[in-house]
Amino acid sequence: MRILLTHTPEALRNYYGDEALAALRGLGDVKLHKGDTPLTTEELIAQARGCDMIVSDRQTPGDAAVFEQLPNLVAFLRCAMDIRNIDRAAADQAGVLVTRATAGFMDSVAELAVGMLVDLARGVSAAVTAYRNGETPPIHMGIQLSRSSIGIIGYGAIGRRVAKLAHAMGMSVLASDPLVQITDPHVKQVTLNHLLHDAKFVVCLAPANAQTEKLMDARIFAAMQPGSYFINLARGELVDEAALAEALDSGHLAGAAMDVGRAPDQMPSPILAKRKDVIATPHIGGLTPEAVSHQAFDTVKQVEALRAGRVPEGAVNAAAANRLARLGVKV
């Protein structure tokens, strides 16, 4: 069995790891991408010729041509949850299995949210930057989180973890999610308007889809408390960045923090990240050894299942994947 692992050497170090790579090599002949940039579609096709499986990083697209021009390809395994740059219809048409990894980064992202809360509340980054520039930072009154309120938009796995950590710090926790019935007695489920009005810190953890595109727009930011703070740890598509900049420029929002944005690979947009009232990190919410290992080993388990003739967990189009028959997998 031949497997192409698409990660660049840097991505391999950060997002796959030696143990997962060794385990994958124990299951087949693994070919590594040696280039320093993500594979283009043409490069992917060239490197994957003759391979049974592609284990893909999140940046490598699965365009229609990949499935049309690789007759030996049986499965395209994504070492991430996001499969939006994989052409599902083309994979279905070709009979190629597509999989995704499960979320193993809830704790990692939730802990970053806590760090951003503390930083926004106490001006940590601003003080550090001033001192490093040889300046004495101005002394400002901080916000005590244990007497403050947090509003969580999107009460999924990460939202639930953030809520527990915020409650443990003594914060009043509000959450808004029309698709979830919240049963945690420490979390008050409210409408979005209620949350925006009452929360000092608003954390966006909603899913990114057509319905939530630019969910956080000028109207939403205007509805937030004067002097409140916005944190985005979900997806850049959720935010109207011009509206966010206007809300910061006017002083209506006191600050923002973000780990994602509309720059390539979900990075924060430089025009926002460089602002003094913004704390930005380069899409590292899930970048801890525990979180990375979880998703890398998901792909290892998926290859193991396919070798054993089973449909793996994480399969998203098994019913259409007729090439699985080559591996003796019954759908």
- What tokens appear for 199 in the block? 């929360």
User: pTM value?
Assistant: 0.89
pLDDT bin (cut points 50, 70, 90) of residue 331 is: confident
Residue type, 58: R
Structure confidence by residue, pLDDT tens digits, 148-198: 999 999 999 999 999 999 999 999 999 999 999 999 999 999 999 999 999
Q: 116 and 60 in one domain?
A: no
Q: 212 and 315 in one domain?
A: no
Q: 195 and 73 in one domain?
A: no
**Of 280, 300, 316, at which residue does a domain stop?**
280
Structure confidence by residue, pLDDT tens digits, 5-64: 999 999 999 999 999 999 999 999 999 999 999 999 999 999 999 999 999 999 999 999
Q: 269 and 157 in one domain?
A: yes
Measured CA to CA in angstroms, residue 16 lies from 28, 56, 167, 282, 290 at distances of 16, 11, 33, 18, 11
E strand intervals along the chain: 2-5, 29-32, 53-56, 75-78, 97-99, 149-153, 172-176, 187-189, 201-204, 228-232, 253-258, 278-280
Q: 266 and 128 in one domain?
A: yes
Q: 113 and 226 in one domain?
A: yes
Q: 267 and 193 in one domain?
A: yes
CA dist 303 and 297 (Å) reads 10
Q: 123 and 219 in one domain?
A: yes
Q: 296 and 240 in one domain?
A: no
Give me the number of domains the chain comprises. Answer: 2
Q: 158 and 86 in one domain?
A: no
Q: 272 and 293 in one domain?
A: no
CA dist 37 and 52 (Å) reads 23
CATH code for the domain in which residue 135 is found: 3.40.50.720
Sheet with 187-189: strands ordered across:
187-189, 172-176, 149-153, 201-204, 228-232, 253-258, 278-280
The residue range of the domain holding 307 is: 2-104+289-327
Q: 274 and 210 in one domain?
A: yes
Question: Looking at residues 277-286, what average pLDDT do you find?
Answer: 96
CB 250 within 8 A of CB 244: no
Structure confidence by residue, pLDDT tens digits, 200-244: 999 999 998 889 999 999 999 999 999 999 999 999 999 999 999
